[in-house]
Amino acid sequence: MGKTALVFSGQGAQYPGMGKELYECSAAARQVFEMAERVRPGTLTQCFEGTKEELSLTINTQPCVFITDLAAAAAVAEKGIRPDFTAGFSLGEIAAIAFAGMLSYEDAFRLVCRRAELMDKAAHEHPGAMAAVMKITPQQTEDICAAFQQAYPVNYNSPAQTVVAAAENEIDALCEKVKESKGKAVKLAVSGAFHSPFMDTAAAGMRDYLQQVTLQDPTIPVYANCTAQPYSGDYRELIAQQINHPVRWQTIVENMIQEGADRFIEVGVGKTLTGLIKKINGDVSAVNIEKKEGLDALE
């Protein structure tokens, strides 16, 4: 019998109306959304009725995507599905640690609100840009980044996709270098250079914030973005480092498969992780749950 991994989406796939179907069809999801509304009034309106522009602001994106992720996971659990492992991409990692019992849902939501503020502030103070690099290997991408003063591979997504962060005055030249290497580079519509040294001040701020947070041991293994291994050691440091260190998504998925995972359920906004998982290993099952139809099809 294979094992199930529950994976939580990150920011980038947000859209107006996200989570509304979950709110309407699942009592467990509704409870999660209502908790968020008590802590941060206006969250439901942003998720269900907010404009694309409003949802693209980091201070709104992170709380709204996080709570939609967590609501989707609650709806999946409500159906009696118990995953063997969990992980989240970037912001999704905070939802994963909450689902695994390391933090209460309310404390995790407050942490995400603070994380969003810190990362938004760092993005304004240390402007940068990001691009998805495709059709060349991660090693080739690393070599290209090394030729620039401030360019870093930050998301190791699949064998043929690596996202990079760079200074605004270097991103175009970097994309040109990728093209010269027979690759493809697409600049991303994001508000900061996440998971790179551009976020050092945000990571430091999170480290300070975490001193007042109590963390429990996870009830199921949570694979950390930084190490691609289950959480162990200093939990607070793993959460803080995640902000200014690369997301090793490909290795996380490969490690879960090595431990027996053959079914991946992506919860939250969009199908990004489902697509990446299929590119990493075409032999495993991967589905996304963000609406009633997907939830009803789960067994």
- Verify whether residue 9 is a known catalytic residue: no
What is the identity of the amino acid at 175? C
Q: Which amino acid is at 154?
A: V
What topology does CATH give the domain 3-125+196-297? Malonyl-Coenzyme A Acyl Carrier Protein; domain 2 (3.40.366)
Active site residue 56: no
Q: How far apart are CA 187 and CA 200, in angstroms?
A: 22
How far apart (Å, rounded) are the C-alpha atoms in residues 208 and 52?
Answer: 32
Distance CA 200, CA 113 (A): 18
**In the chain, domain spans:** 3-125+196-297, 129-187
Among 3.40.50.300, 3.10.180.10, 3.30.70.250, 3.20.20.70, name the CATH number for the domain at 129-187: 3.30.70.250
What pLDDT is stored for residue 12 in this prediction? 84
Catalytic residue among 26, 90, 191, 196: 90
Burial class (CB in 10 A: 0-12, 13-18, 19+), 10: buried
pLDDT at residue number 11: 87
- pLDDT for 1 equals 65
- Specify the DSSP element, H or E, that contains 7: strand 3-8
Check residue 1 and report its DSSP letter: -
What's at 92, amino acid-wise? G
Same fold across 3-125+196-297 and 129-187: no
Question: pLDDT tens string for the chain (299 positions)?
Answer: 689 999 999 988 899 999 999 999 999 999 999 999 999 999 999 999 999 999 989 999 999 999 999 999 999 999 999 999 999 999 999 999 999 999 999 999 999 999 999 999 999 999 999 999 999 999 999 999 999 999 999 999 999 999 999 999 999 999 999 999 999 999 998 889 999 999 999 999 999 999 999 999 999 999 999 999 999 999 999 999 999 999 999 999 999 999 999 999 999 999 999 999 999 999 999 999 998 888 888 87
How big is the CA angle at 85 (ends 84 and 89), to the nearest 5 degrees?
A: 155
The DSSP bridge partners found for residue 161 are 134, 158
Q: Which of 26, 158, 195, 245 is catalytic?
A: 195
